[in-house]
Amino acid sequence: MCKDVSYPLISIITINYNGLNDTSELIESIQTHIHSTSYEIIVIDNASKRDEASVLKEKYPSINVISSQTNLGFSGGNNLGIKEAKGEFIFLLNNDTYIVSDCFHYLIESFEQHPSAGIVCPKICFATGKQSIQYAGYTTLSSITLRNKAIGLGEKDKGQYNLQYKTAYAHGAALMIRRETIDQIGLMPEIFFLYYEEIDWSTRLKEQGYEIWYNGYCTVFHKESQSTGQESPLRTFYMMRNRLLYAWRHKKGIIKWLSIVYLSIIAASKNSILFMMKKRPDLAAATYKGIIAFITISDKLK
């Protein structure tokens, strides 16, 4: 742990699920580069197939490793870490990220400069290829289709987003949140399990009067590929289910029902046709499984 007292303690939380090498690289990048801010590292082992928690404890005795006997998903795992965290600021980082500079203090400075900030996110760049930008903020979701864009996506990082500004939503791969904000809005919504939980959390945060800020002076590199790994039955299932669930939880009146009809009939049909043209019937099936799962969940939430 770094012990500089000039900044408040940051609790860095990451989830490990069969990702020992990635998690190790993240930890080592933090320990190598972060010196200007005090921090603790909390790793949640989300029921990995082998005992990776013990390996992490042995390799990095200064960190806090918490083992979960069941896979709690993204939000459940992070919530377990948040409950153990001691920091004034909570920094959620995907285990497949890493850093190359001492930059976390820029995020804290954003909180200090903007008292209404509840979350601050760094710039996120793809770690592979030309290391182009993945995230420099988000545009607002459209009211019915729930589509939006990541600002800067695919652009070469020339420093053009080395700025601070308000943004519509946080990015789940790297977000820092005030502890007092969590006390106000509650923990991450565990109903989503994977995907859309940070969008839901961001929406709830803004409904409570907080702002979400982007600070491009801090960069996190993310190993998620820009061109691969995006089409899997697991991702397709949860994206379909959770878009519908988000509409159910946050849209009102006629807009709510228009959004649900659009997503479950028009968008689902279009996507299924495209999947079949690509000879991916598994993705088409996952789309409709997601709709059925949403109907099951929404019925319980009435």
129-162 pLDDT, tens per residue?
Answer: 889 999 999 999 999 999 999 999 999 999 999 9
Number of H helices, E strands in the chain: 10, 10
The one-letter amino acid at 9: L
- For 206-262, what is each residue's pLDDT tens digit? 999 999 999 999 999 999 854 335 679 999 999 999 999 999 999 999 999 999 999
Tell me what percent of the residues of the chain surpass a pLDDT of 70: 95
Supply the pLDDT for residue 229: 52
Backbone φ and ψ for 246, nearest 5 degrees, come out as -60, -45
Locate 216 and state its tokens: 């491009």
What percent of the chain is modeled with pLDDT above 90? 91
Angle, vertex CA 95, rays to CA 94 and CA 101, nearest 5: 85
- Tokens 């979400």 label which residue? 212
This prediction has a pTM of 0.92
Residue range 269-282, pLDDT digits in tens: 999 999 999 999 99
Nearest CA to 213 out of 140, 141, 135, 114 is that of 114
End-to-end CA distance of the chain: 46
In the predicted model, is pLDDT for residue 8 greater than 90? yes
What was the pLDDT predicted at 230? 65
Hey, what CATH topology would domain 10-222 get? Spore Coat Polysaccharide Biosynthesis Protein SpsA; Chain A (3.90.550)
Cβ-count burial of 104 within 10 angstroms (0-12 exposed, 13-18 middle, 19+ buried)? buried
Look at strands 97-98 and 89-93 and give their pairing. Answer: unpaired
Compute the distance between CA of residue 202 and CA of residue 102 in angstroms, rounded to an integer: 26
